[in-house]
Chains A and B, each alone.
Chain A
Amino acid sequence: MNESLRQLTRRHFFHDCGLGLGRIGLASAMAGGFGNLARAAVSNPLSPRDTHFGPKAKRVIFMFMAGAPSQLELFDDKPKLRELDGKPIPPSVIAGQRYAFIQPNAAVLAPRFPFAKHGRCGAELSDRLPHLTGIVDDIAIVKSMKTDQFNHAPAQLFLNTGHGLPGRPAMGSWLSYGIGSEADDLPSFVVLKSGGNLSGGAAMWSAGFLPGSHAGVPFREAGDPILHVSNPAGFDNQAQRDSLDLIRKLNERELGTVGDPEIQTRIDAYEMAWRMQSAAPELMNFADESPATMELYGAKPGDPKSAYANNCLLARRLIERGSRFVQVYHSGWDHHSQVEAGVTAQAREVDQASAALVKDLKMRGMLEDTLVVWGGEFGRTPMVEASAALGRSMGRDHHPQAFTMWMAGGGIKPGVTLGATDELGFNVVEDPVHIHDLHATMMHLLGLDHTKLTFRYQGRDFRLTDVHGHLVEKILA
């Protein structure tokens, strides 16, 4: 009877046992008039969803540099700034802009590091990214990123959810809603974090108005990686299994008496919880990684100094096991003061592992269908930030008008640099890529039309890209 109940009820497939497992973008399918999308879903509600068209990427790893790295110290060299170092920026350039800390009369600050061309593509990078130079022919650098927000929390939310306030679904949640999960014992949308606290907070991996099971599952830095995934104190696996067996037996009896198919869903959820309990330790145990791999990333399990490297490796292990979207946050890029020392230290923490992830994926043949994105929530000002009250000097303030990100893998054209900023690095002058465009492009690579993946909430069909977003064709392979 149970199977037939499952087949029959909508509740099962609207409220299945979660973690994004087998969920259909039903509202959008309805709006789209029941094409293949819906039919495929109905015939097997637990399978991963069909996409709108053939995907180039099946999964995403997003290395989120929280705090906003300085593009002027890493990617976007500006000789003119060196020339004008210490002089006030022309008022015509800055007029009308709002800044978080600096005043409009701030002076220009020259890029702190030498730049050089690398690889066959000749992409220009500063000397702070020695490992990235090694994979520069595998990535696409976008120097013309733009965002709407000039404070951390709103800008981080904007990059994660397409909106500057909490309450909208994260990219990973949209993906889970749109194409379901391939993992049946691990979460589909996972959040990893290192380097300190995040301004945007939990709203960055919230499912917003989508069903709660599409929310990102944050892995914890201490204790259980997934909350309560370990057996309780004193319980061995046998005791845990005995308990689950009794729960199951009693639940099945209730199902027989009451007939509510939701009970079957509950039984399934408990079984999946059990599978997660055994999958999680296996996932977290890096013993099966070769010394070469560990060295490539600079991963050292348990060492807080290698937290980012460990997370990059963990991200690869997650996508190997079916996770769709792994968000790797690394904080500490907010260099309002002493940008030189700050960028040096941060780059040292992330450069090797970021590059290693791309290399490793490539070696394993996974890069071709894994989309890798690297970048922060905005850029930093060409002007210096200094404040006696705050004890700041030689820093840079937030700059939403122009910044740099890079992408690799899954349908991204390797070895290109897209876009350009003006000679002061102040505004984008060529091929602007707004955050909405980034989202549209990511969705496209995943086989989804960003205008079609919608969810009706409060009387309106919402999208990740709101009413915006253009495909960035020039970086498509």
Chain B
Amino acid sequence: MPGTAYLTRKTLTLSRPATDAISVPYFLMRVLLSAAFLFPAFFGTLSNCVAQEVSFQRDIRPLLSDRCFKCHGFDDETREADLGLHLFEQATRDLGGYQAIKPGDAAASEVIERLISDDPDEVMPPPKSNKPRFSAAEVALMQRWIAQGAKYEQHWAFEKPVRPEVPAVADSTSAHAIDRFIDNDLASSGLRANGKAAPHTLIRRLSYDLRGLPPTVPETDAFLAAYASDPVKAWENLVDSFLASPAYGERWARDWLDLARYADSNGYEKDRPRSIWPYRDWVVRALNDDMPYDRFTIEQLAGDMLPNATVDQRVATGFHRNTMLNEEGGIDPLEFRYLAMVDRVATTGSVWMGLTTGCAQCHTHKFDPITHTDYYALMALMDNADEPEIEVPVPGLEKRRAEIEKQMQAMEAEALAQIDEARYQEWLAGQKASRTRWIALPPTSAKSNLPLLEIQPDHSVFASGDFTKRDVYEISLDLSAVGDEPVTALRLEALPDPRLPAGGPGAAYYEGRKGDFFLSEVTARVDGRPVSFAGASVSFGKISVGSGEARGSNIYDGDGSTGWSTSSQEGIANELVVQLSEPISKGGQLEITLLFERHFVAALGRFRISATTASSGGAANSSHTPDPFTASDPDLRRGYTRVAPEFESYQIDYDSLKKSLPEFPTSLVMQERPAQNPRTTHRHHRGEYLSPKEKVKAAVPAVFEPIREGDSANRLGLAKWLVSDRNPLVARVAANRAWSAFFGRGIVKTLGDYGYQSAQPSHPELLDWLAMELVEKGWSMKHLHRTIVTSETYQRDSKVDSLQLEKDPDNVLLSRGPRFRLTGEMLRDGALQSAGILSSKAGGPGVFPPQPDSVVELAYGGAGDWKVSKGEDRYRRSLYTFSKRTAPFAAYLTFDGPTGESCLPQRDRSNTPLQALTLLNDPMFHEAAEALARQTGSGQGTDPVEPGGVIEVLFRRVLIRPPTTVEKSEIVEYYEKQRTSLAAGELKTEMIMGDKTLATPELAAWKMVARVLLNLNEAITRG
């Protein structure tokens, strides 16, 4: 375990000599020491002032990676002097009588010459690179490494983890594996481990960590009592009960949603709302059910591709639908789809591989072994999906829907049975006499600029795949179906289809209404001769986004900005009929070109072209009754009951039933594309969307073992590979993320980067032990969490003394318990819970807790987008707060909450005056303070309440611990002063109190005290 060894055994005991050795002022050195894990390249030098075997992994690669690989690394496009220092073979090859590195002979190694050269043209790294020169100590290190044979080693993270042996530590008090690893390093550091934290601290720590909430007073009392008799048992029981709490899934879902860049709006300029909360609820459920992490992964990446995929498994694929959607007018939709793919590659890399793939979007990664082609090969694995929205049946609603549908069927059957045959036949004859007889023309071919056009058995054409904002369809139709009569008019039916957005007929999925289309121009030719139009009619016409009219004649006026659209009638068939200037007699092949041109995708998704030979030419029929010539008998009868006057009351009843059908919520999912329309993925020069180069074959990066034979090179294959032992990183990354949640920093500090540039792990063996524990215990996250929190290390007191601060300010060695500020979400949830007003309602659409209008006013849509929720929804857990990307809930953002714009492996934990202003002055926290004050009983009874008792209640609710005598007296002093001012009218009770019915000076003063408590560092911190 190299990383730890050098820090603990050497660095911490050699500060003075080391600083002298590399000529850094002592004071600066002290500061730098603490940053050792941030900048291993620099600190690699420190350890080597004491002779020992030089390790490539620990000492050399960080130096080379930081200062040399940019020009002498993996990227052969930018490699200078054709020299690579990243591989032994390259670094040691003959350069014409000399070698950059000559193993065993530092003096004959050119690289050393270059490092120490005074010639600005010779010295490496060159001055213009802005890279620091190698210090004398670093050069010495290089020399010793070469002298010792210049051994190269694989980067630790690319080696498969093996479960290390748990060290036996003489003075460890614990048999717990985690403690053995931690104490082993601690033993040599000269630091003594803190004892166990006080029980009220422990329950608060565990409660926030496992549930994201403070414990209640009864929970605390029960635990303290149990702890007094059997601390170990009490702790285990507490851990089990918290792990089993539904709040567990809500707390851990937040961390996962940071990675998933979850939000309830589309992002970019318009940032309109989207419905993907069923995915969020899926995550909560999966975590509460302790779904094994491998399955958790596979379902989110490729749930739709599992055999007999359930709706739940499809909803899980929302993970990669959390990318943003640009609805700004006039964007190139495929460019933003490409950018979403870039995001998916980056996110997959961060979450499951701990790799920063971003560099390889533009060129071969300079620091990690990922080539430019590897990057697009990885993209190709995920690229072959459509992105539909599906209905998510909710059990209660599903039942209700089925009941209503059954009623509707019964009602319809009854109506059909009541048809008076004579009247029906009379109606039918009338229909046949008045309606135009259309003959559907069988398409012989259907081509487009991009979308896949497929001819359906009913002679309609179905479009799928990718669309642009200017699509052109070319359809060839066989006129022989018409017979010998001349064709006088053509009809285009815009047809609904459940596969289309909002049921079609259009393919619009952003900016315009979903399912919208805009037919700009139609041209026709018969056997190569142009056909001209002499009038048009439509069954319905309306344009979305804009003020233009949707007349039928727009489609042959030569102006692409006018056209036909049936906006607002999504899911309904409509038709356009054009009269021909001259009838087509005895035609052969009819060629129709349809142009769809708007500032958003607006092609038709399903349509059919028919012809008539009626001498009148016919007109569009807007009755929506079935075609009397082609429809089936039952359909016609059904159509009759829909219009016949004697069925009026049935029509009203039927329609109102139909209206009462509850709608299912929808969610965004991935859906593998059909075999006939695979998407090809290209390498993009410099990562630019407009510069696609050669096609790439889907694969995992070549540095890893490939996808197992038998698994396909697709999303499912990738998902399975990611959680297989062929990916050496997945378990380490997952375990490290969990560790970081409990300890405030990861064993590898950079939670999203385990590559060559990442910080060395502080406890590499422990990391591997945790990783293997996760894998071997069935990928159970709850087991991993239980394992961590039952260690002594986790339960240590978080007090810090000056020796600890000096030697280990960041608590890397964990001689003390972890302390860190709570997240904004936890602060709000904690305040509501302490105040007794937190709602336990789980799941459902995002809610809108109160915040100043001015927050959302800054966003494009303005403040109208934030209508504060009423009742219980005002007090829901923060996980359920509507997450608007361009105007995130202010209180969370102020505390470093996510925007949902990209994967966030690690939140910052800043400490700013704006946070102070929020906690001090945000009405939301005042509301909590008031409710908290009411919990004391003050102001509500007739009995005077003893201040000491009130303070006791407030402390136990907020800080969990009881107050000290001194604290009590300080608070009483403050309370009395404020109460006196309030009673004297110097402060206005009724202004301070939100609920004017309870406006006593006492309660107002207690509210002020409660607010102070919510602002204490102790309340904000999980200690």
Instruction: Please name all residues of chain B whose beta carbon is closer than 8 Å to the beta carbon of A42 when the two chains form the complex.
Output: 27-28, 31
Cβ contact of B24, chosen from A34, A150, A165, cutoff 8 A:
A34
Cβ contact of B562, chosen from A17, A229, A388, cutoff 8 A:
A388
Shortest CB-to-CB span from B271 to chain A, Å, is: 7
B548 at the interface (CB under 8 A from A): yes
Instruction: Please name all residues of chain B whose beta carbon is closer than 8 Å to the beta carbon of A34 when the two chains form the complex.
Output: 24, 28, 132
Within 8 A of A (CB), among B778-817: 798-802, 805-806, 809-810
Q: Is B913 a contact partner of A17 (Cβ separation < 8 A)?
A: yes
User: How far apart sit A100 and B853, CA to CA, in the bound complex (Å)?
Assistant: 32
Q: Is A8 a contact partner of B809 (Cβ separation < 8 A)?
A: yes
User: How far apart sit A31 and B130, CA to CA, in the bound complex (Å)?
Assistant: 7
Interface range, A side: 35 or more
Instruction: Please name all residues of chain A whose beta carbon is closer than 8 Å to the beta carbon of B1023 when the two chains form the complex.
Output: 258, 260
Shortest CB-to-CB span from A325 to chain B, Å, is: 17
A203 at the interface (CB under 8 A from B): yes
Instruction: Please name all residues of chain A whose beta carbon is closer than 8 Å to the beta carbon of B35 when the two chains form the complex.
Output: 10, 26
Q: Is B548 a contact partner of A251 (Cβ separation < 8 A)?
A: no
Q: Is B912 a contact partner of A459 (Cβ separation < 8 A)?
A: no
Closest to B1008 in A: A243
Binds B, one of A76-84, A138-146, A270-278, A286-294: A270-278
Q: Is B25 a contact partner of A39 (Cβ separation < 8 A)?
A: yes
User: How far apart sit A18 and B894, CA to CA, in the bound complex (Å)?
Assistant: 11
B758 at the interface (CB under 8 A from A): yes
Q: Is A459 a contact partner of B920 (Cβ separation < 8 A)?
A: no
User: How far apart sit A387 and B560, CA to CA, in the bound complex (Å)?
Assistant: 9
A202 at the interface (CB under 8 A from B): yes
B862 at the interface (CB under 8 A from A): yes
A179 at the interface (CB under 8 A from B): no
Shortest CB-to-CB span from B1018 to chain A, Å, is: 5
B888 at the interface (CB under 8 A from A): yes
Shortest CB-to-CB span from A221 to chain B, Å, is: 7
Instruction: Please name all residues of chain A whose beta carbon is closer than 8 Å to the beta carbon of B1011 when the two chains form the complex.
Output: 243
Cβ contact of B131, chosen from A31, A388, A460, cutoff 8 A:
A31
Q: Is A201 a contact partner of B860 (Cβ separation < 8 A)?
A: yes
User: How far apart sit A100 and B916, CA to CA, in the bound complex (Å)?
Assistant: 44
Q: Is A259 a contact partner of B1017 (Cβ separation < 8 A)?
A: no
User: How far apart sit A265 and B1012, CA to CA, in the bound complex (Å)?
Assistant: 18
Q: Is A30 a contact partner of B39 (Cβ separation < 8 A)?
A: yes
Binds A, one of B101-109, B329-337, B428-436: B329-337
Interface centre among A218, A244, A389 (most CB of B within 10 A): A389
Q: Is A452 a contact partner of B913 (Cβ separation < 8 A)?
A: no
User: How far apart sit A309 and B320, CA to CA, in the bound complex (Å)?
Assistant: 45
User: How far apart sit A26 and B488, CA to CA, in the bound complex (Å)?
Assistant: 78
User: How far apart sit A223 and B854, CA to CA, in the bound complex (Å)?
Assistant: 7
Q: Is B800 a contact partner of A197 (Cβ separation < 8 A)?
A: no
Binds B, one of A121-129, A205-213, A296-304, A407-415: A205-213
Cβ contact of B805, chosen from A9, A229, A243, A397, cutoff 8 A:
A9
User: How far apart sit A103 and B521, CA to CA, in the bound complex (Å)?
Assistant: 14
Instruction: Please name all residues of chain B whose beta carbon is closer than 8 Å to the beta carbon of A10 when the two chains form the complex.
Output: 31, 34-35, 809-810
Within 8 A of A (CB), among B880-936: 885-888, 890, 894, 896, 899, 901-902, 908-918, 920-923, 926
Q: Is A197 a contact partner of B861 (Cβ separation < 8 A)?
A: yes
Shortest CB-to-CB span from A403 to chain B, Å, is: 17
User: How far apart sit A262 and B926, CA to CA, in the bound complex (Å)?
Assistant: 25
User: How far apart sit A333 and B940, CA to CA, in the bound complex (Å)?
Assistant: 58
Closest to B926 in A: A232
Instruction: Please name all residues of chain A whose beta carbon is closer than 8 Å to the beta carbon of B1008 when the two chains form the complex.
Output: 239, 243
Shortest CB-to-CB span from B885 to chain A, Å, is: 8
A230 at the interface (CB under 8 A from B): yes
A282 at the interface (CB under 8 A from B): no
Closest to B27 in A: A42
User: How far apart sit A422 and B978, CA to CA, in the bound complex (Å)?
Assistant: 73
User: How far apart sit A436 and B913, CA to CA, in the bound complex (Å)?
Assistant: 33
Closest to A206 in B: B899
Q: Is A151 a contact partner of B326 (Cβ separation < 8 A)?
A: yes
Q: Is B974 a contact partner of A251 (Cβ separation < 8 A)?
A: no
Q: Is B988 a contact partner of A234 (Cβ separation < 8 A)?
A: yes
A200 at the interface (CB under 8 A from B): yes
Q: Is A234 a contact partner of B991 (Cβ separation < 8 A)?
A: yes
Instruction: Please name all residues of chain B whose beta carbon is closer than 8 Å to the beta carbon of A270 when the two chains form the complex.
Output: 913, 916, 920, 1015
A47 at the interface (CB under 8 A from B): no
Shortest CB-to-CB span from A311 to chain B, Å, is: 14
A475 at the interface (CB under 8 A from B): no
Q: Is A153 a contact partner of B269 (Cβ separation < 8 A)?
A: yes
Shortest CB-to-CB span from B86 to chain A, Å, is: 15
Instruction: Please name all residues of chain A whose beta carbon is closer than 8 Å to the beta carbon of B798 when the two chains form the complex.
Output: 258, 260
A284 at the interface (CB under 8 A from B): no
User: How far apart sit A239 and B979, CA to CA, in the bound complex (Å)?
Assistant: 11
Closest to A10 in B: B34
A347-388 interface mask toward B, CB cutoff 8 Å, 1 = contact, 0 = none? 000000000000000000000000000000000000000111
Q: Is B268 a contact partner of A153 (Cβ separation < 8 A)?
A: yes
Whether A39 contacts B908 in the complex (CB less than 8 A), given A100-B329, A258-B799, A386-B561, comes out as no
A199 at the interface (CB under 8 A from B): yes
Q: Is B910 a contact partner of A18 (Cβ separation < 8 A)?
A: yes
A254 at the interface (CB under 8 A from B): yes
Q: Is B1017 a contact partner of A389 (Cβ separation < 8 A)?
A: no
User: How far apart sit A202 and B857, CA to CA, in the bound complex (Å)?
Assistant: 11
Supplied contacts A15-B910, A224-B852, A262-B911, 14 more A-B pairs, CB within 8 Å: A9-B34, A18-B913, A30-B132, A151-B326, A151-B330, A166-B267, A201-B886, A217-B914, A223-B854, A243-B1011, A260-B1023, A459-B756, A459-B757, A460-B356
A-B residue pairs in contact (CB < 8 Å), sample of 25: A5-B805, A8-B30, A11-B810, A34-B28, A101-B330, A197-B862, A201-B269, A201-B887, A202-B888, A202-B899, A203-B901, A220-B852, A227-B894, A227-B922, A230-B921, A243-B1012, A243-B1015, A254-B1017, A262-B1021, A263-B1017, A391-B546, A391-B547, A391-B548, A398-B330, A459-B367
B residues adjacent to A (C-beta < 8 A): 24-25, 27-28, 30-31, 34-35, 39, 42, 130-133, 267-269, 271, 324, 326, 328-332, 339, 350, 356, 358-359, 367-368, 470, 518, 543, 545-548, 554, 559-563, 597-599, 750, 752-753, 755-758, 798-802, 805-806, 809-810, 819, 821, 852-855, 857-862, 885-888, 890, 894, 896, 899, 901-902, 908-918, 920-923, 926, 966-967, 970-971, 974, 977-978, 981, 986-993, 1004, 1008, 1011-1012, 1015-1018, 1020-1021, 1023
